[in-house]
Chain A
Amino acid sequence: NAGVTQTPKFQVLKTGQSMTLQCAQDMNHNSMYWYRQDPGMGLRLIYYSASEGTTDKGEVPNGYNVSRLNKREFSLRLESAAPSQTSVYFCASSETRQGGSGRVQGEQFFGPGTRLTVL
């Protein structure tokens, strides 16, 4: 049971290059998330997928796109990388189930992160 896995662990890009960050979870969770972590700013939500087949913007979506490929996988794409996208990127997942009074969300489990540098 690997939990949440992310590839690659490190990446260096030149301005304007594109790349896709991969994330997979083996906990059969419904919901998945992409965050970026910058010094002094905590974690900020980029995009999330509440359930398979849906994606929504978070706090800082500009310059990114996502794909919920299936229940297990949620990828983040940078179409034209910029130095401002230098950051550590974390993927997370959580169980979200239907309770009596609406959706009940469980704890978020995080991957180990991808450290991205854009030159």
Chain B
Amino acid sequence: AQSVTQLGSHVSVSEGALVLLRCNYSSSVPPYLFWYVQYPNQGLQLLLKYTSAATLVKGINGFEAEFKKSETSFHLTKPSAHMSDAAEYFCAVRRRNTGFQKLVFGTGTRLLVSP
């Protein structure tokens, strides 16, 4: 079964520091990969997605993620954290197969940004 592992349930950074949120997937065939963000008391919003066009994917709010097949990873980064980035981030995976495929989420990483 498809799955993703997010290392670290909480990550703390200072404002202006690099943000790195880790995600590893398990699949014999590279799947579609997604990062979602959830702000307090809100639903999830898509940050970016990997569908195979390019291994470095740029998303909204200055975030980007790089697909590395050799490491089965899709880590999320942002060069300089902002206070408004404090939220919970979810990595998700979906098979490339034809037919209807379900989205499977990781357990989430809460990003804390201190002044």
A102/B44 in contact, CB under 8 A: no
Q: Which residue in chain A gives the minimum CB-CB distance to B94?
A: A105
Residues of chain B within 8 A (CB-CB) of A111 are: 43
Asked if A67 CB lies within 8 Å of chain B CBs, one says: no
**How many interface residues does chain B have, given as a range?**
20 to 34
CA distance A55 to B88 in the complex (A): 29
Q: Is the CB of A41 within 8 A of B43?
A: no
User: Chain B's interface: helix, strand, loop or mixed, by majority?
Assistant: loop
User: Chain B residues in contact with chain A, CB under 8 A?
Assistant: 9, 41-46, 49, 90, 94, 97-108
| Size class of the A contact interface (CB-based, 8 Å) | 20 to 34
What residues of chain A have their CB less than 8 Å away from a CB belonging to chain B? 4, 31, 40-45, 48, 50, 58, 90, 92, 96, 101-103, 105, 107-108, 110-113
> A50-B100, A103-B98 are contacts. A42–B90 as well, Cβ < 8 Å?
yes
